[in-house]
Structure 1
Amino acid sequence: MTTLLRPSLGTLLIGALSAAFFFWLAAVSFATGKHPATTLGTALCFSLLGLMALPMVADYFFARHRLSDEAIDFGRRFGGRGTMRWADVRRVRFSPTMKWFVLEDQARIRARVSANLTGLPEFARLVLAHVPSEAIDKKTHKLLVDASVGRRPRVWL
């Protein structure tokens, strides 16, 4: 059995619309500003905000993971793929700041699985079934148990 974990279409829409909005504001600011220093500074600020939205777009296309009973084939935000066998996982933790689960193997390779991905309950069930319990800290274990029955970790404050 193979399960695909992927971001929802909402991730792409929010990222793309946010980037487009801020790049549009930068263009308008630059084209209609009266004072050159203020115009350039404002346009740069809006451009930076637009760039900050692009990782959401990259996540939609690259951060897809394929799960099986033996391993996780994971994608990284800016490309590149890797495979990690469940038996090789030496540490699982949840990053409350980034809202993702971090799996680390003996070679210190890390796979990051966002709490917003579709298919998260199956991921949680596989981790609980195949990863040694001593590799999972207590807080993460509780989050995985909750996720396995459909209760996702809190993503927003």
Structure 2
Amino acid sequence: MEQTPPTSIPLRHPMSSLVIGTISAAFFFWLAAVSFTTGQHPAATFGTTLCFVGLGLMALPMVADYFFARHHLSDEAIDFGRRFGGRGTMRWADVRLVRFSPTMKWFVLTDDASNKARVSSTLTGLPEFARLVLAHVPPEAIDKKTHKLLVDASLGRRPRVWL
């Protein structure tokens, strides 16, 4: 009898994340270049240039997330990617804490060894993630507010990203 492999559900950022991150970074780096090269105006100071460079750098994690923070779900585990590379696997049965970070707008799963998987609320496939967490993670590992957000997400209602 042939055994079928477990199904894998991909979670990834939508293309709009890459577009917004790339355009934002390019725009602020362009402003930094203009500010640096046209230093004739009194408002175009070195501090202004550094400010624009800083804003451009702040957009780069969004681009990095698009490429590296890709996850795969199964009934047994989540195979997750980290923002700046590296991968990990966390079995649902090993998850000891699930919480939602309202500042970063992602779900944080922590296992016995204190490994963390971060799942953004903007990923495609979020309802499947929520259903698997609710079905396989021990209920005592999920706090009440996060539980409500997971129930809503499993029904297709994402956590609010703005505000």
CA–CA separation in structure 1 for the residues paired with 2:113 and 2:143: 19
CA–CA separation in structure 1 for the residues paired with 2:129 and 2:43: 51
Q: How many residues align?
A: 157
Please tell me whether residue 26 in structure 1 is matched to residue 32 in structure 2. Answer: yes
> Do 2:94 and 2:112's aligned partners in 1 also have CA atoms closer than 8 Å?
yes
User: Alignment partner for residue 113 of structure 2, among 107, 118, 122?
Assistant: 107
Structure-2 residue corresponding to 1:80: 86
Q: Which amino acid aligns with 1:70?
A: E
3-state SS in 2 of match to 1:69: coil
3-state SS in 2 of match to 1:112: strand
Structure-2 residue corresponding to 1:6: 12
Structure-2 residue corresponding to 1:96: 102
3-state SS in 1 of match to 2:45: helix
Structure-1 residue corresponding to 2:156: 150
Deviations 1:84-137 (A, max 9, x none): 000000010001111000000000000000000000000000000000000000
The residue correspondences of 1:28-43 to structure 2 (distance < 5 A) are: 28-34=34-40, 38-43=44-49
CA–CA separation in structure 2 for the residues paired with 1:41 and 1:136: 45
User: Alignment partner for residue 125 of structure 1, among 131, 135, 146?
Assistant: 131
Deviations 1:45-72 (A, max 9, x none): 1011100000000000000000000000
Distance 1:133-1:3 versus aligned 2 partners, 3 A rule? same
Q: Which amino acid aligns with 1:74?
A: F
CA–CA separation in structure 1 for the residues paired with 2:133 and 2:88: 17
Segments of structure 2 that go 5 or more residues without pairing to the other structure are 1-6
Deviates more, 1:62-71 or 1:26-35: 26-35
| TM-score, scaled relative to structure 1 | 0.97
Percent identity, aligned pairs only, is: 81
User: Alignment partner for residue 57 of structure 1, among 56, 60, 63?
Assistant: 63
3-state SS in 2 of match to 1:151: coil
| TM-score, scaled relative to structure 2 | 0.93
- CA-based RMSD of the aligned residues comes to 1.3
Using the TM superposition, give the Cα deviation of residue 39 of structure 1 relative to its aligned residue in structure 2, in angstroms: 2.8
Deviates more, 1:58-67 or 1:25-34: 25-34
CA–CA separation in structure 1 for the residues paired with 2:53 and 2:97: 38
